[in-house]
Chain A
Amino acid sequence: MRRRLPFLLALLTMVPGTLALAGEPIKIGEINSYSRVPQFLDPYKKGWEMAVDEINAAGGVLGRKLVVISRDDGGKPDVAERHATELVQNEKVSLLAGTFLSHIGLAVSSFAKRNKVLFVAAEPLSDAITWSKGHRYTFRLRPNTYEQCVMLAREAAKLPAKRWATIAPNYEYGQSAVRAFKEVLSKLRPDVEWVEEQWPALFKLDAGSTVQALARARPDAIFNVTFGSDLAKFVREGTTRGLFRNRSVVSLLTGEPEYLDPLKDEAPEGWIVTGYPWYAIQDPAHKKFVADYEKRYNDYPRVGSLVGYLTFKAIAAAIAKAGSTDTEALVDAMEGLEFDSPVGRIKFRKIDHQSTLGAWVGKIKYDPKRGRGILVDWKYVDGSEVLPGPEWVAKVRPKD
């Protein structure tokens, strides 16, 4: 709101009539669960606001400014659908973007399919968005659950561990993560055994009993999918009870600052994780991104910031390539779209509308200087290295 105001005022002062059609702003509708998961979406919003301001400062796209109309769905899929209707019908936005929770991403995607509106899903991780429920009008930026699990399973295969236990929140994300990890690791290492699994309800982990149940199975290694407040409980209880002593832990998303930083000096050392080492990436474009972000917000970027930033850079690139805001032209432009970003060149695959943005895989180490955990021995794994090929996609993705 605050950012839009000066721009609106500027619009008002223009003498009516001098407003040529070409100068009209391009409206983009954005929907996310801001009040439900603020810890992740606050940085995300900062990221896209920065991207939009950068784009507009450089003259906008097609000579027109971008205006983003953002709505909070409160974590409810039916409210997200209502916002989508309002944005498309009333505000006449050219496309929709956003969402964090998978089921809300799917609800908006279903809306986009029926109403033939472009939807650029930013954060939801569910594989279904681009695969089993994929269609012409939806694209997704962030690497999905399957990709990140493949990255971790490849690292896990290098460990000597044979007896594995899993712990994951009891919902679709946790279940598809465990399924993908098991499938890939079992293929790479036919000798591994799955000795225990725990499915705590999301954010209701009963840490003591669950840790004890995992320890009873005497696994060599543990695959963890819990995050947020569950992760903090799990790490603390597991450390006190010696669950992680002489055991390897492979953990999804735990290296992302959103999840790792709240653990402060209790960051679990040695865990193999996917994350975002924004402090250590040396690429000049990324250094500039971090510097701009820190200057603007007096805060460091999280994964959400990067995802928000990249989503709107991708949208701008698509509009520029399409040369118009017509939905069909935009969709055609998005298919196979390539654009340069602070983390290298990113492409939206034509076959499944998934971007090739990757993730960073590394080990957690406590850094006393920062007072929190950081990633060491990390590497960037590009999405194209882990995404399945066209034959596989053709099998799971419905034809348009």
Chain B
Amino acid sequence: MEFYLVQALNGLASASSLFLVASGLSIIFGVTRIVNFAHGSFYMLGAYIAYTLVQVLPPGAAGYWAAVLGAALAVGLIGAAVELLLLRRIYRAPELFQLLATFGLVLVVADLVLMIWGPEDLLGPRAPGLRGSVMILGEPFPTYELFMIALGPLVLGGLWVLFHRTRWGTLVRAATEDREMVGALGVNEAWLFTSVFVLGSFLAGLGGAVQLPREAVNHTMDLHIIAEVFVVVVVGGMGSILGAFLAAVLISELNAFGILIFPEITLVLVFLIMAAVLIFRPWGLLGRPEGPPRAPAGEHEPPLRLLGRGFLYFCLAVLAAAAVLPHLLPTYYIRIACEVLISALFAASLGFMMTVGGMASFGHAAYFGLGAYGAALAVTYAQVGTGLGLAAALGLGLAGAVLFGYFCVRLSGVYSAMLTLAFAQIVYAVLFQWYGITGGDNGLLGIWPSDWVSSPLAYYYLTLAVVAVSLFLLRRLAFAPFGYSLRAGRDSALRSEAIGIHVRRVRWVGFVIAGFFAAAAGGLFAFLKGSVFPDYSSIPVSVDSLVMVLLGGVQTLSGPIVGAGVYKVLEVFVNRYTEHWQLILGCVLVGLVILFPQGILGYLVGRFGRSGEEWRGVDGAPAGGRAA
């Protein structure tokens, strides 16, 4: 019995440390609707800065706690700079676009941290006065963990007072509920956003700084925390601080007791919890259903339009060029071209879901990975050729999309996107842990194409054929009656239901189509690389697909294809020529975000109107776009 109580205390200590970081993220999202990937980087910076300040400041309790607080403040200032210089420029961009900017920041911070603090793990000192342990129920318990247990509720209480007893807090709560209305009432939104971002960053920095006695500061802290704090925020209900606290406690306690019964569960536990919570409570524990989405005043997204003969000729010309090109290139570039084509299909499949269906996904790699494994499993266990291997890829991807899509389309917005992430992580965990079948993290090797497509050139033509047909079909679907129903459901679920469209079913089919074509890309990738790994369904691959779509522009069907081309080519060449490819790629992304806040193609189309009028609407028509 004593043991279980102490284990519960252990869970509470972990909960506090998760909550500190998650609360900041929740506040930022609640008000600004920015999905801030860089929150983990702020957390890591907090830890590194605290480590340095502790070395510089005089030893002793005062110096130590000054360092912790100083680090949090410093990160708050960095947050202010990021908000003022970068994010403020792109609030008006399409939904989720800011994610691209914060992803660029993640890369930049990761490289800068390595340059400043070096690659070695840094073990900071223990907190003065809280070094030892006390006996609790016969078990030694570290005093610092007791401090952590107290810190969580303290911060929670402090935030409650801030939000419920100050004018600023009232404004923040109002903005969380309806930010256009707050703006309309004459509140200076810009400064409200900045102050909220600073508070959120401060909390992330504090969360990192108080980790100093608990773990060695290292350059992977950012990526290791970010997924988990997102889960905490979503499980709690976006924008709900108390919800985030409850979620942190729930997750940490289930982890503390879960490992006693089933130690291998560590890999996937948080995502199982998230999936379970979201299926039964689509807005998290304490979240509130969102009203119908509303387009910002004065702006609207014009509808997709069928392009004329000119575009057809353009596509045929591109196709002809793609068919001739490999004869002029060395083998290596043929293979790069294959990678670009596969990325284009992968991005286009996600783009279809986002542009036509209005559904975002943070876990699109699930279907890419399932496709790759479908092919690899068929080759490994049934010795099939490339054709049947690709068919198996489509089959497995389809099955996954049908199953997961059923649950995901019941949710909306970021909740739906997070549920896709949960499923992607479950796929990842299964591939990672099921050694007998999937080979675990060592993957399946020797998945090479059959003789008829074994030469690089032949495989290139196979890839080109599959990708070209798929892209054509995706485009065709967008303008088929089905595509129109899907777009109707995206723009106004209420009106669509009223005219007899089964919105949920239409969205489900849309989701499955996106998963199906992602699986095609995954299958092609498996044979191109000759081996498959669970990495193919991991978070970084999902993020890559999202980055490609956003980079190209989410308003057009061709945007993701352009984005994939630009991103892939950048990645390949920057990586080849410099050790600091993360820094350079990050800076380029941030630069592109500022230059093209509608995505590259979105910008070009907007700028040079008639030449590609894919998204030009009826002149002067007001926001038909996404009004309820």
Check A78/B133 contact, CB under 8 A, given A72-B579, A228-B218. Answer: no
| Segment with Cβ contacts to B, from A3-11, A151-159, A207-215 | A207-215
B11, B140, B572: most-surrounded residue (chain A CB, <10 A): B140
**Contact residues of A: prevailing secondary structure:** helix
The smallest beta-carbon distance between A138 and chain B, in angstroms, is 11
Instruction: For B578, give the chain A residue with the smallest CB separation.
Output: A1
> CB < 8 Å: which of B259, B442, B575 contacts A213?
B259
Asked if A262 lies at the interface with its beta carbon under 8 angstroms from chain B, I say yes
Interface positions, chain B 232-252, Cβ under 8 Å from A, are: 252
Asked if A298 lies at the interface with its beta carbon under 8 angstroms from chain B, I say no
Can you list, as one digit per residue, whether each of A156-170 has a CB less than 8 Å from chain B (1) or not (0)? Answer: 000000000000001
Can you list, as one digit per residue, whether each of B512-542 has a CB less than 8 Å from chain A (1) or not (0)? Answer: 0000000000000100011101011000100
> CB < 8 Å: which of A72, A215, A216 contacts B581?
A72
**Is B219 touching A170 in the complex (CB atoms < 8 A)?**
no
> CB < 8 Å: which of B220, B331, B533 contacts A89?
B331
Distance between Cα atoms of A369 and B208 in the complex (Å): 32
**Is A212 touching B266 in the complex (CB atoms < 8 A)?**
no
Distance between Cα atoms of A215 and B260 in the complex (Å): 12
**Is A206 touching B443 in the complex (CB atoms < 8 A)?**
no
> CB < 8 Å: which of B131, B142, B575 contacts A237?
B142
Check A79/B575 contact, CB under 8 A, given A39-B121, A126-B442. Answer: yes
| Segment with Cβ contacts to B, from A56-64, A195-203, A247-255, A331-339 | A195-203
**Is B259 touching A229 in the complex (CB atoms < 8 A)?**
no
Interface positions, chain A 65-113, Cβ under 8 Å from B, are: 71-72, 74, 76-79, 81-82, 85-86, 89-90, 102-103, 106-107, 109-111, 113
Distance between Cα atoms of A90 and B329 in the complex (Å): 11
**Is A240 touching B133 in the complex (CB atoms < 8 A)?**
yes
Can you list, as one digit per residue, whether each of B106-142 has a CB less than 8 Å from chain A (1) or not (0)? Answer: 0000010010000111110010000111000001111
**Is B142 touching A74 in the complex (CB atoms < 8 A)?**
no
Distance between Cα atoms of A272 and B10 in the complex (Å): 28
Interface positions, chain B 186-222, Cβ under 8 Å from A, are: 213-216, 218-221
Asked if B256 lies at the interface with its beta carbon under 8 angstroms from chain A, I say yes
**Is A232 touching B6 in the complex (CB atoms < 8 A)?**
no
**Is A212 touching B448 in the complex (CB atoms < 8 A)?**
no
Can you list, as one digit per residue, whether each of B436-480 has a CB less than 8 Å from chain A (1) or not (0)? Answer: 000011110110100000000000000000000000000000000
Asked if B277 lies at the interface with its beta carbon under 8 angstroms from chain A, I say no
Q: Which residues of B contact A111 (CB under 8 A)?
A: 530
Q: What is the number of residues of chain A that contact chain B, defined by CB distance less than 8 Å?
A: 65
Asked if B496 lies at the interface with its beta carbon under 8 angstroms from chain A, I say no
Q: Which residues of A contact B256 (CB under 8 A)?
A: 206, 208-209
**Is A198 touching B339 in the complex (CB atoms < 8 A)?**
no
> CB < 8 Å: which of B114, B131, B224, B530 contacts A204?
B224
Asked if A128 lies at the interface with its beta carbon under 8 angstroms from chain B, I say yes
**Is B529 touching A78 in the complex (CB atoms < 8 A)?**
yes
Asked if A49 lies at the interface with its beta carbon under 8 angstroms from chain B, I say no
Asked if A345 lies at the interface with its beta carbon under 8 angstroms from chain B, I say no
Distance between Cα atoms of A204 and B269 in the complex (Å): 12
Check A203/B224 contact, CB under 8 A, given A212-B3, A229-B121, A262-B123. Answer: yes
> CB < 8 Å: which of A78, A103, A242 contacts B441?
A103
Check A209/B440 contact, CB under 8 A, given A38-B219, A90-B330. Answer: no
Asked if B492 lies at the interface with its beta carbon under 8 angstroms from chain A, I say no
Interface positions, chain A 6-41, Cβ under 8 Å from B, are: 34-35, 38-39
**Is A201 touching B576 in the complex (CB atoms < 8 A)?**
no
The smallest beta-carbon distance between B144 and chain A, in angstroms, is 8
Distance between Cα atoms of A79 and B343 in the complex (Å): 13
**Is B264 touching A208 in the complex (CB atoms < 8 A)?**
no
**Is A201 touching B266 in the complex (CB atoms < 8 A)?**
yes
**Is B7 touching A198 in the complex (CB atoms < 8 A)?**
no
**Is B133 touching A208 in the complex (CB atoms < 8 A)?**
no
> CB < 8 Å: which of B119, B139, B260 contacts A38?
B119
**Is A241 touching B140 in the complex (CB atoms < 8 A)?**
yes
Q: Which residues of A contact B330 (CB under 8 A)?
A: 89-90
**Is A171 touching B432 in the complex (CB atoms < 8 A)?**
yes
Distance between Cα atoms of A229 and B6 in the complex (Å): 24
Distance between Cα atoms of A35 and B263 in the complex (Å): 31
**Is A208 touching B332 in the complex (CB atoms < 8 A)?**
no
The smallest beta-carbon distance between A372 and chain B, in angstroms, is 11
**Is A72 touching B575 in the complex (CB atoms < 8 A)?**
yes
**Is A209 touching B443 in the complex (CB atoms < 8 A)?**
no
Asked if A233 lies at the interface with its beta carbon under 8 angstroms from chain B, I say yes
**Is B266 touching A264 in the complex (CB atoms < 8 A)?**
no
Distance between Cα atoms of A172 and B433 in the complex (Å): 9
Asked if A286 lies at the interface with its beta carbon under 8 angstroms from chain B, I say no
> CB < 8 Å: which of A34, A170, A175, A206 contacts B14?
A206
Instruction: For A241, give the chain B residue with the smallest CB separation.
Output: B140
**Is B13 touching A229 in the complex (CB atoms < 8 A)?**
no
> CB < 8 Å: which of B7, B213, B446, B536 contacts A209?
B7
Can you list, as one digit per residue, whether each of B16-36 has a CB less than 8 Å from chain A (1) or not (0)? Answer: 000000000000000000000
**Is A212 touching B572 in the complex (CB atoms < 8 A)?**
no
Q: Which residues of B contact A72 (CB under 8 A)?
A: 575, 579, 581
Q: Which residues of A contact B219 (CB under 8 A)?
A: 38
Can you list, as one digit per residue, whether each of A102-133 has a CB less than 8 Å from chain B (1) or not (0)? Answer: 11001101110110000000000010100001
Name 30 A/B residue pairs within 8 A (Cβ), A-sorted: A38-B114, A39-B218, A78-B533, A79-B575, A85-B335, A89-B331, A90-B332, A102-B441, A106-B443, A106-B445, A114-B446, A197-B263, A199-B264, A199-B266, A208-B256, A209-B10, A212-B139, A213-B259, A213-B263, A216-B260, A232-B216, A233-B214, A233-B215, A236-B126, A241-B133, A241-B140, A261-B120, A262-B121, A262-B123, A263-B123
Q: A38-B114, A103-B441, A208-B10 are in contact. List 12 more A-B contacts (CB 8 A).
A: A39-B120, A71-B575, A86-B576, A90-B332, A107-B531, A110-B445, A170-B266, A172-B442, A198-B263, A199-B263, A210-B259, A261-B120
